[in-house]
Amino acid sequence: ASCPRPAKSPEALGTTGAQLRRLLKRAVLQHRDEGYLLHDLVREFFLARMPEADRRRAHGRAALYWEERGDGLEAAYHRIEARDFDAAVALLEERGEAYAEGARAGELEACLERLPPGKRPVRLFAETLVFLGKFEEARGLLEGLVRRGSQEERLRARIHLGRIETRQGEYAAAQRILAAAVREAAALGTPGLEGEALRALGGVERRLGNLGVAADYLSRATLLLEDTSRERIRAMTDLGATLIAKGDLDGAKAELEEALRIARKGSREEAAIENNLAIVLSGEGRPQDAARAFERSAELALGAGEVRFAAYALANAADNFLRLDQTETASVCAERALDLASTIRDPMAVSTARANLGLVAARRGEWPRAERELLASVDLISRLDNPYSLATRCREIAQVYEAQGRRDEATSWRTRAEGLFTRLRADPRATARGG
């Protein structure tokens, strides 16, 4: 908390002047123009000793301090502690979305949980829970909005429900929900919501391998969404990924570089763009540059709190280090990718990481482990309608069996892979590894 300077007396903090001086020397109390700043190590001690009215006033002053410095989340926390719930809700509704999908999402969740249940911004709470992988809790909140919310709230809730299905690999359900949301938004004449629904639906179609449809939806989304909005940047990024999958590296690069120009530095959007630009480098036959770019993308993603993106980026880095015959470095990246993927509920991320570990083991001649990891990677996605990823895994298993001279088993897996690839080419379809 921040207390006014000069303080009425040390006793206002429940302490003595001598104790304050000792705390100042130990840097757990800072004396600034706007008041005393208490380190977390001692703050709760002092706050517990203050009278209730003084404590609330201290939190109110702290809220003003953080509002002036642009930290809406910290300010909202102090408004809640000051029991000024309406002001806290107003702050969170105005600024909370910036924290819902980033490194401070956990703080935002804790802040929202401190509000009385009837005052919590439900959509913001649900969006935060989705980012944190708490899908069932988020689903319950969103389904409540679908039943009781306004027409616009119901539509937004359906879009988020479609995104949950996408994250869980239930692409057919996501496709159905989001296609209905697109039609509803168009009928309502709300271009922003139509753009959000199209962007989410385009992402599903890309995962299903319907690249022409995906590119159309994503292109339409970029025209409907506000020029520098977060959703438009994401739509441009998804469009770039779709163009990569179609083999249009020049078109993808142009789209991604434009998205990078308007993305906020240090954001999850920047991390996703850098990951896809690294895929372009890999496609151009520059594995050394690509591997390093993937590592940078992973660090950006972790800095933004986006574990899923980081897992994919490290898996892609492992692929490129294997192409460079840097097996040990590839192994480190693959292990990190699996560690990260295991903390989230994304079957594709875990499957990708385990497949990379299998390829590393194969390069080392550790055939039993290679087989175990690759078969596990197939099991994780065998029930998902993601034909390209499944075909890629089957081909990798076939290559491992061929390297061991196990021709009959290799033929079976290669036939399965070629059947899936034929299905994709017939559309024509393809996709890039990395969600």
Mean of the per-residue pLDDT values of the chain: 88
User: pLDDT per residue over 201-214, tens digit each?
Assistant: 999 999 888 889 99
In the chain the domains, ranked by start, together with CATH numbers, are 2-122 (no CATH), 310-435 (1.25.40.10)
Reference 237, options 277, 196, 198; nearest CA is: 277
The Cα–Cα gap between 166 and 141 comes to 18
User: pLDDT per residue over 28-37, tens digit each?
Assistant: 555 566 555 5
Task: Report, as an integer, the average pLDDT of 167-182.
Answer: 94
pLDDT of residue 231: 94
Widest CA span of the chain, in angstroms?
A: 86
Q: Are 253 and 277 in contact (CB under 8 A)?
A: yes
Parallel, antiparallel or unpaired: strands 2-3 and 29-32: unpaired
Q: Are 358 and 377 in contact (CB under 8 A)?
A: yes
Q: Any residues with CB less than 8 A from the CB of 294 and at least 6 apart, and which?
A: 275, 278, 313, 314, 316, 317, 320, 333
Q: Are 264 and 291 in contact (CB under 8 A)?
A: no
Cα angle, residue 185 at apex, residues 184 and 188 outer, rounded to 5°: 85
Q: Are 235 and 271 in contact (CB under 8 A)?
A: no
User: pLDDT per residue over 269-312, tens digit each?
Assistant: 999 999 999 999 999 999 999 999 999 999 999 988 888 899 99
Paired with 37 in beta bridges are: 2, 30
Reference 434, options 207, 128, 178, 198; nearest CA is: 207
User: pLDDT per residue over 219-235, tens digit each?
Assistant: 999 999 998 899 999 99
**Angular region, 375: left φ>0, alpha ψ -120 to 50, beta rest:** alpha
Question: Model-level pTM?
Answer: 0.76
- Per-residue pLDDT band for 43 (boundaries 50, 70, 90) equals low
Question: Tell me, what amino acid is at 6?
Answer: P
pLDDT of residue 407: 94
pLDDT of residue 166: 92
pLDDT of residue 29: 53
User: pLDDT per residue over 105-119, tens digit each?
Assistant: 899 999 999 999 999
- Establish how many alpha carbons lie within 13 A of residue 274's alpha carbon, considering only the half-sphere containing its beta carbon: 26
